[in-house]
Amino acid sequence: MKTIISNIDINDIDLNEIKKHAKLIKEGNTVIFPTETVYGLGANALNENAVKKIYEAKGRPSDNPLIVHICDKEEVYNLAEDISEKAKIVMDNFWPGPITIVLNKKDIVPKTTSGGLETVAIRMPSNKIAQAIIRESGVPIAAPSANISGRPSPTKGDHVKEEMDGRVGGIILGGDCNFGLESTVLDMTEEIPMILRPGSITKEELEKLIGDINLDPSLEKKEDNKKAKAPGMKYTHYSPNADVYIVSGDEQSVIEKINNMYKENMNNNLKTGVMCINKNIHKYEGLAIGLGNSLEEVGSNLFSALIEMDKHNIDIIYSEEFPNSGVGRAIMNRLLKSAGYKVIKA
């Protein structure tokens, strides 16, 4: 497939370029565009044939529902019903932004989009290019992350182009995604809302606004994974070619343990990569990629670091561990999945 690729400056959006891609969406084709979380692979959410092309391009199981992206809060009332006061508060406070809410769907949303469910996940992104493509298309856009199913989600234009050129109708390259982790998914169909996927809008922030929030219990343990309420959380995910391990313990022991394993791997002709906070980069032997200085930076760089490791043909990746609260909860969720829950105690 010939893919139309456009470079768009987010600070000076060329509407003519956006319109080329909006035309593709209107014709029932697929277009990749940047959002503030990760790049999305979009199509008209209300057109079943268009949505099927998303599943094909990603190689994604069709029981895994898609997030519907809108550019105007009021649009939610056309797509969903039984919208609670708490849901309105969340939308008013965090939209546009990196949180998706799950609501009971109206008939207008095809089952292909909702993965067969009676609910629909909706989000209004804050990225100006994302808003422009939705507005110019004139339809809500269903968009999962723009990776081949199972791979890390792309947060940089280069990574999108390398993986997806030829698989979709259009690609809009618009720089790096600033949050770098996919949106928080919050199920608001129950009295007490439940986080199905942690993201940069945290449980703690939500609780301040609307009181008690549950965490899908399946998030905590590998064994419970199959019970996840968000179908997407059941699958193998965020996997680079290398085998990923999280190394846990106090800082000094972690560094020593990883450096010892590095030597062993060398003897076995295996290439080792390390993901760590910036201040520790120079303490590791071999290739170490710094994820940043703060948890926010780690979140934003995690997926691109996993993809970079593949470019260096790394066989084994060791990652430092991060605190499992606030944004750290989203980071550890993605890291654990990427590692297939393999944790080495230092």
Residues that bind Mg ion (CB under 5 A): 145
Nearer to ligand TXA, 28 or 231 (CB): 231
Q: Does 201 bind ligand TXA (CB under 6 A)?
A: no
Q: At residue 277, what are phi and psi to the nearest 5 degrees?
A: -75, 155
How many CB atoms lie under 10 A from the CB of residue 269?
Answer: 7
Angle between helix 203-210 and helix 85-94 axes, rounded to 10 deg: 120
Does residue 143 interact with ligand TXA by CB under 6 A?
Answer: yes
For ligand TXA, which residue has the nearest CB?
Answer: 232
Q: Choose between 44 and 145: whose C-beta lies nearer to Mg ion.
A: 145
Per-residue 3-state assignment (H helix, E strand, C coil) for 231-272: HHHCCCCCCCCCEEEEEECCHHHHHHHHHHHHHHHHHCCCCE
The smaller minimum CB distance to ligand TXA, of residues 151 and 197, is found at: 197
- Closer CB to Mg ion, 188 or 233, in the complex: 233
The residues that bridge with 32 in the sheet, in sequence order, are: 41, 171
As measured in angstroms, the least distance from the Cβ of 204 to ligand TXA is 19
197 interface partner picked from Mg ion, ligand TXA, none, CB below 5 to 8 A per type: ligand TXA
Stretch that binds ligand TXA, among 95-103, 253-261, 299-307, 322-330 (CB under 6 A): 95-103
- Which of 91, 139, 160, 196 forms a contact with ligand TXA (CB under 6 A)? 196
Q: What angle do CA 150, 112, 138 make, to 5 degrees?
A: 100
Q: Which is nearer to ligand TXA, 23 or 111 (CB)?
A: 111
Amino acid in the structure at residue 20: K
175's contact among Mg ion, ligand TXA, none, with CB below 5 to 8 A by partner kind, is none
CA dihedral (100, 103, 108, 109) in degrees, to 10, reads: 50
Our finding on whether 197 is near ligand TXA (CB under 6 A) is yes
Q: Nearest-5° angle of CA 125, CA 180, CA 236?
A: 105
Sheet holding 243-248, edge to edge: 287-290, 272-276, 316-320, 243-248, 343-345
CB of 183: closest distance to ligand TXA in angstroms? 4
Among 24, 230, 316, 336, binds ligand TXA (CB under 6 A): 230
Question: DSSP letter at 145?
Answer: B
Q: Which of 8, 29, 65, 140 binds ligand TXA (CB under 6 A)?
A: 65
Among 24, 51, 91, 102, binds ligand TXA (CB under 6 A): 102
φ, ψ of residue 294 in degrees (nearest 5): -120, 165
Residues 269-328 that bind ligand TXA (CB under 6 A): none
**According to CB under 6 A, which one of 17, 163, 182, 308 is a site residue for ligand TXA?**
182
- Residues written for the chain: 346
| Position 117 contacts ligand TXA (CB under 6 A) | yes
d(CA 92, CA 209): 11
Report which of 310, 304, 334 is spatially closest to residue 322, judged by C-alpha positions. 334
Cα–Cα distance, 57 to 51 (Å, whole number): 10
Q: What is d(CA 337, CA 215) in angstroms, rounded to the nearest whole number? A: 17
Interface with ligand TXA, residue 17, by CB under 6 A: no
Least Å distance, CB 118 to ligand TXA, is: 8
Measured CA to CA, the distance from residue 27 to residue 163 in angstroms comes to: 23
- 3 state SS of 44: strand
Q: Cβ 89 to ligand TXA, closest distance in Å?
A: 20
- Taking CB under 6 A as the rule, does residue 175 contact ligand TXA? no
- The least distance separating Mg ion from the CB of residue 305, rounded to whole angstroms, comes to 17
Report, in Å, the least distance between residue 20 CB and ligand TXA: 20
Q: Any contact of residue 155 with ligand TXA (CB under 6 A)?
A: no
Spatial separation of the C-alpha atoms in residues 95 and 29, rounded to whole Å: 27
Which residues of the chain form contacts with ligand TXA (CB under 6 A)?
35, 37-38, 40, 64-67, 98, 100, 102, 114, 117, 119-121, 123, 143-145, 182-183, 185, 196-197, 229-233
